[in-house]
Amino acid sequence: MNIKNNFRKVIYYFKRYGIIETIKKIFKKILHIKEIRRTNQEQYEIWMKNNLPIAKDFEFQENIKFQYEPKISIVVPMYNTNEIFLKELIQSLQTQTYSNWELLLADGSENYNENLKQYYENDERIKYKFLDCNKGISENTNEAIKQSTGEFIAFLDHDDLLPKDALYEIVKIINENNEVDFIYTDEDKIDEDRERFEPYFKPNYSPETLECNNYITHFVIVKRELLNEVGLLETKFNGAQDFDFILRATEKAKQIIHIPKILYHWRAHRNSTADTADAKTYAYEIGLEVIKEHLERTKKAGKVEYGQDVPGIYKIKYDVIGSPKVSILIPNKDHIDLLKNCINSIVKLTTYENYEIVIIENNSEKQETFEYYKKIVKNDKIKVLNYNKNTLLTNLGQKEVLNKINLVDENEFNYSSLINFGVKNVDGEYILQLNNDTKLLTKDWLELFIGYGQNKEIGACRSKTIF
């Protein structure tokens, strides 16, 4: 068995890393050479060296002529902005390999800073507006949006930076996808010494994940038509205004695309949320209200609460509609000590009523296992399906099953075949697969599963597991 498993590992490693790295791995294993464990930062520096564009890539990008070259309007709300940060932000735009952009600066600072003028006055693509007063981050951003003339709007903070290829990659995606109206990218953090760290490689668009955490954050680009449809930023959500806007926009977007490239640098300094999650704790409280309104708009019934004391993470408990039956399938071969713990935790903790436990017996050899089966089926929620004999044991006795299955190999464990056999012989509206060595920790686990499962766009869901 070990030889078989090791062979599979070799094949996997070969397919992923190639012949040279595979040979190195084998020799290290044979010679018992421990691999050097690099820190996250060391790994990121290696990744940057191998993946970031170089001079010839930038030269290529600058010479590209796209069929469609939309103007990208970058909107930036300002408030007592650090001069050096603004200078670097503007420079990061002026060095872009794609040049059809405009920068809209809406300054809500307490006093007009004449020194800032030197950074933007010689570039006609930059429009600066000093506001009469600080209207808050949402209204300051809205003032910038109102000045914009581009086909796409991009949101940038006053102390952050864009890498040289950011707008090129955005326009490339726009040309490749006619319907795209919402784009977001990966990001990392950058400190005051311009050192980059903590890359954030995001998943593709997931509405359920987004409902529980604003994982999109930066860099967001939306088509003007979509922005006109969903409206400007909401002042009542200041602090979580970006989360609210992203939810409203993604609800209406025709096509959402994630660009899996680091195209945004989030500045980390003493007063930024990039440096510490505690910088704006009020934002997490406002986030609850943002999600509540989202659920109302999308007509999803449920309650929102904080998620396990992690800042910015929320948990939604969707209301269960009706009382659908859940069939819990548990393949088993002996090991009744494990099975007992599993079943006891289900029976003791589960608060949802309409469920059944179906043990799928497979080649058990111990008599005590079958004695245990006879004992547990006295509970009318528990049944035992015998995979090898095509029988069903319940509190009413044993009978032959109607929906038989052709055994793949009755002497070998085949999880897929066991589950398929179970599915054929249960009538639950929901099928839940469970290992016999698991133990439940949460009372309302089935309600949580069904809450997500009843969403017509979801075909399967799972929980986190503690090993």
Q: What is the pLDDT of residue 272?
A: 56
Among 306, 336, 352, the domain boundary falls at: 306
What is the pTM assigned to this prediction? 0.85
With a CB cutoff of 8 Å and minimum separation 6, the contacts of 255 are 177, 179, 180, 181, 182
Name the nearest CA neighbour of 418 among 408, 426, 431: 408
Query: With bands split at pLDDT 50, 70 and 90, how would you rate the model's confidence at 273?
Result: low
Name the nearest CA neighbour of 238 among 293, 294, 286: 286
Q: What is the pLDDT of residue 288?
A: 94
Q: Is residue 45 part of a domain?
A: no
Residues 236, 113, single domain; the answer is yes
DSSP per-residue letters across 408-447? S-TTS--HHHHHHHHHHT---SEEEE--TT-----TTHHH
Q: What is the mean pLDDT of residues 434-451?
A: 93
Cα angle 196, 199, 205 (rounded to 5 degrees) comes to: 145
Residues 205, 352, single domain; the answer is no
With a CB cutoff of 8 Å and minimum separation 6, the contacts of 161 are 88, 89, 92, 190, 264, 265, 267
Q: What is the pLDDT of residue 150?
A: 98
Residue 278 has pLDDT above 60, yes or no: no
Q: Is residue 459 part of a domain?
A: no
Q: Residue 406: which CATH number?
A: 3.90.550.10
Residues 78, 109, single domain; the answer is yes
Residues 286, 362, single domain; the answer is no
| Cβ-contact 158, 89 below 8 angstroms | yes
pLDDT in tens, 320-355: 999 999 999 999 999 999 999 999 999 999 999 999
Question: Chain-wide mean pLDDT for the chain?
Answer: 91
Q: Is residue 315 part of a domain?
A: no
Q: Is residue 215 part of a domain?
A: yes
Q: What is the mean pLDDT of residues 250-276?
A: 85
pLDDT in tens, 174-222: 999 999 999 999 999 999 889 999 999 999 999 999 999 999 999 999 9
- The total number of structural domains that make up the chain: 3
Q: Is residue 311 part of a domain?
A: no
Residues 275, 354, single domain; the answer is no
Q: What is the mean pLDDT of residues 128-150?
A: 95
Query: Within a 10 A sphere around the Cβ of 437, how many other Cβ atoms?
Result: 13
Residues 30, 67, single domain; the answer is no
Residues 233, 335, single domain; the answer is no
Residues 17, 93, single domain; the answer is no
Residues 283, 333, single domain; the answer is no
Strand bridging mode 256-267 / 152-155: unpaired
Q: Which residues of 370-386 are buried (b: 16+ CB within 10 A; e: fewer)?
A: bebbeebbeeebbbbbb
Residues 284, 355, single domain; the answer is no
The enclosing H or E element of 95 equals: none
User: What is the maximum alpha-carbon separation in the chain?
Assistant: 89
Residues 141, 286, single domain; the answer is yes
Query: With bands split at pLDDT 50, 70 and 90, how would you rate the model's confidence at 405?
Result: low
Range of the domain at 31: 2-35
Q: What is the pLDDT of residue 12?
A: 73
Q: What is the mean pLDDT of residues 3-13?
A: 70
pLDDT in tens, 282-314: 888 999 999 999 999 999 999 999 987 778 899
Q: What is the pLDDT of residue 274?
A: 52
Residues 273, 168, single domain; the answer is yes
Query: Dihedral of CA 446/452/455/460: which sign?
Result: negative
pLDDT in tens, 356-384: 999 999 989 999 999 999 999 999 999 99
Report which listed range, 13-22, 97-106, 267-276, is most confident. 97-106
Q: How far is CA 322 from CA 175, 319, 325, 380, 427, in A?
A: 46, 9, 10, 22, 16
Cα angle 105, 108, 111 (rounded to 5 degrees) comes to: 110
Q: Is residue 235 part of a domain?
A: yes
Cα angle 164, 136, 305 (rounded to 5 degrees) comes to: 90
